[in-house]
Structure formats: C-alpha cells, structure tokens
Amino acid sequence: MRGRKSPRGLWSGRIPLNPEPGQRLKSVSSSPFEGLIVPIDKPAGLTSFDVVARIRHASGVKRVGHGGTLDPFATGVLVIGIGRSATRQLGELLKGDKEYLAQVVLGIETDTYDFTGRVVAQHKVEMPDAGSLDKVLVKFTGTIKQTPPPYSAVKVGGMRAYRSARRGEKPDLQPRAITIHQLNLIELNETGFTIDIVCSHGTYIRSLAHDIGQALGCGAHLAALRRLRVGSYILEQSETLENFISRLRGVR
C-alpha cells in the first residue's frame, strides 16, 4: 500500500486564456471567456462559492460554476466553468474520480470530523507502525458503505444535515456506497499519518479519516486536505486564483 511519493509544493504552470483543444467549448456568446474550463488551485480560507464569485466578478460573466465542492480549509484542484456552454459540462465532472492527499491526526475526535470542529473525545494513542496501519487501510479499499459526516450538505428530510447539526440535533444519515480505488500510506509522524486517496464521486474524506480512527480504536480527525485531481484535470495544470483573476482583468 506504500511507495507513492507525495506531490511537492504548488505548481507554477499556467493555463492560457486560449486553451488547448477540448478546454474551450463552442458558443455564440461574444464574451472572450465563454466556454472556458480551467482548473484553479484553490487556496485555504475560501469556500468554493467564494472562488466562483471572484471569477464571476473579474470576468464579467454571470454564469460561472465549479465541478465539485472543496471545504474552506481544503486546497487544490477546483475546476471552474465560465459561461453557459462550460457550466453545462460540469455535471459530468462531478461524476468523475478524484484524488486527494490527506493528513490525519489520531487520538482526537471532533464533531465535524476535521480540525475546525469542536473536540468531542480524546484518547490515548499507541501509534501504529506502517505494517499495522496498512492492514487497516486495506479494509477501506474497494466498494464500501460510508456514512456522510453530520456537518455535510446531504439532505435529510428535506433539510441539509449541517443545519440540523448546528441546532444540536443528530441528523439521521444513511450509509451509501462509494469506491476507494487506491489508499496509499505516504508518511507516518508523531501525531498521525498522511495518505493518498483515489476515490469515486460522493466520497467524504472527513468520514474516511473518522472511520479509520474508529477502526484503530483511538479516534481521528482530518487535519489537512489537498485535492490533486478531478477527472483528467490535475494539480500540475492548475493556476493560482490570484494569477488567473489578474489575467482575466488584463484581457477585459
């Protein structure tokens, strides 16, 4: 399960505003940005909607969307579609496989299953060795049942689960089938470990971290998350949000 090296740092490459064939879709719009699909390296601290709103403002195009939400603390590939012809294609991206690099901290459980939440339990940790951890990780590969985290956008009885959770209620979330294609141990450290995950649409990495902690008997939460790939769009193709916005304004 080990052997894969983690990506290093941020990519400094650029996506031209006149992209390669297949990146811009045909449109009758007069906007120079209509039909553009571009992977952005989302910074921490912004919601996916924040990114969409900033690109909408910079491009002057009202119809802008993204191909798969990232939590505010997460970074990495967020595929953006500008214009009607591009946003129509984003639904297909949502169905594609994704790849993540995740840091997990053992011994501390939170209500959100990540470091932003309230601590609900702490446990003494006997740090596993790589071999022991690999034996647990293999149990989470293939098609498995996963319950979304309480703080998620899944609807329960017509209401988003996170709304119920914020009111102190426990949403009745049901397990659903997901597929973990690859789950590789990258690194062990004094507080937990780093893993590389290739998974299907609908997978919650926060739930995966939580469930691995339960399987180890010590609890866990997600400490950091970076998305490396959405379908065929990879981190190495992605551009920082600030650089992309600067170039949009330059063209306008």
Nearest CA to 235 out of 20, 97, 42 is that of 42
Q: Are residues 226 and 236 in the same domain?
A: no
Structural domain tally of the chain?
A: 2
Identify whether 71 is a catalytic site residue: yes
Q: Are residues 4 and 17 in the same domain?
A: yes
Residue 3 has pLDDT above 60, yes or no: no
Catalytic residue among 41, 71, 196, 211: 71
Q: Domain span at residue 217?
A: 98-230
Q: Are residues 202 and 86 in the same domain?
A: no
pLDDT in tens, 160-180: 776 777 777 787 778 999 999
What is 65-122 written as a DSSP string? EESS---TT-EEEEEEEESHHHHTTHHHHHTS-EEEEEEEEESEEETTSBTTS-EEEE
Higher pLDDT, 21 or 119: 119
Give the mean model confidence (pLDDT) for residues 21-36.
60
Q: Could you say which DSSP state residue 250 is in?
A: H
CA distance 203 to 73: 17
Q: Are residues 117 and 219 in the same domain?
A: yes
Q: Are residues 51 and 88 in the same domain?
A: yes
The structure tokens listed for 46 are 């912004």
Q: Are residues 114 and 204 in the same domain?
A: yes
Q: Are residues 55 and 146 in the same domain?
A: no
Amino acid, res. 18: N
Confidence at residue 172, expressed as pLDDT on a 0 to 100 scale:
72
pLDDT in tens, 225-250: 999 999 999 999 999 999 999 989 88
Maximum Cα–Cα distance across the chain: 62
- CA geometry: angle at 97 spanning 54 and 17, to 5°? 40
Confidence at residue 33, expressed as pLDDT on a 0 to 100 scale:
86
| Domain CATH for 159 | 3.30.2350.10
Confidence at residue 30, expressed as pLDDT on a 0 to 100 scale:
58
Confidence at residue 252, expressed as pLDDT on a 0 to 100 scale:
61
Nearest CA to 192 out of 167, 172, 210 is that of 210
Q: Are residues 122 and 132 in the same domain?
A: yes
